[in-house]
Amino acid sequence: MTARSEILPALAEVFREHGYAGASLALISQATGLGKGSLYHLFPGGKAEMAACVLEEIDAWFETNLYRPLRERDPPERAISDMFDSVASYFRSGQRVCLVGVLALGTSRDLFAEAVRGYFARWVAALADALRRSGQDAAASTALAEEVVAQIQGAIVLARALDQPALFARALATLRSRMATAAG
């Protein structure tokens, strides 16, 4: 029997590519190689449970690779620099869309509102914390963190829309340089 954790990456890609509403059970079955009965055995709550599990896995990855290091790693300037490496890796240098962003913009937004809000709020808070630990003013740290996260998300969308992954890399390089200056 297939474990839930084994099919979460395939589920995530279906939701990334088709959104929540467009991710039919036929598409999910095709991507995972599992029939409806097996899918419902693993996820009795259906598609909503599948998406929630994918969001939990994304949250765990970001907690381990971005949020916690930004909050705890010293020096904070190193944690900020590492964040850009992790972001580039996770979003495959602009070739992978942000599933949380897809859900935030889709008709299913309210269904996953808490997870979506938490993803962005925790990223901004962790980055602002690192900026404060590097000597920045609290209000300026939060404003800059919001701007950086917004620009990263925008760069993902623009790189994907224009089919120019190099645009994402350039945006990250610009933001990394700006943050290095801000973090001192």
CB 133 within 8 A of CB 47: no
Any domain includes 29: no
Arithmetic mean of pLDDT, 89-108: 88
Question: In angstroms, rounded to a whole number, what is the distance separating the alpha carbons of residues 65 and 151?
Answer: 19
CB 12 within 8 A of CB 98: no
Question: In angstroms, rounded to a whole number, what is the distance separating the alpha carbons of residues 150 and 83?
Answer: 15
Any domain includes 10: no
Alpha carbon 11 to its chain centroid, in Å, reads: 15
Any domain includes 6: no
Question: In angstroms, rounded to a whole number, what is the distance separating the alpha carbons of residues 14 and 37?
Answer: 18
Question: In angstroms, rounded to a whole number, what is the distance separating the alpha carbons of residues 57 and 107?
Answer: 22
Any domain includes 89: yes
- Residue 109 has a pLDDT of 82
The residue type at 66: L
Looking at residue 38, what DSSP letter applies?
H
123-145 tens-digit pLDDT: 999 999 999 999 999 999 999 99
Any domain includes 3: no
Any domain includes 98: yes
Any domain includes 1: no
Q: How confident is the model at residue 1 (pLDDT cuts 50, 70, 90)?
A: low
Arithmetic mean of pLDDT, 5-32: 95
146-177 tens-digit pLDDT: 999 999 999 999 999 999 999 999 999 999 99
Within 13 A of 56's CA, how many CA atoms are on the CB side?
A: 9
The residue type at 124: V
- Residue 108 has a pLDDT of 81
Q: Find out whether the peptide bond into 165 is cis, omega within 30 degrees of 0.
A: no
Q: How confident is the model at residue 2 (pLDDT cuts 50, 70, 90)?
A: confident
Any domain includes 138: yes
21-65 tens-digit pLDDT: 999 999 999 999 999 999 999 999 999 999 999 999 999 999 999
Who's near 69: CB < 8 A, 6+ residues apart?
79, 82, 83, 86
- Residue 95 has a pLDDT of 85
**φ/ψ of residue 97, rounded to 5:** -75, 160
**Per the structure, how many domains does the chain have?**
1
pTM greater than the 0.75 cutoff = yes
Task: Categorise residue 84: left if φ over 0, alpha if ψ from -120 to 50, beta otherwise.
Answer: alpha
Domain membership of residue 113 as a residue range: 48-183
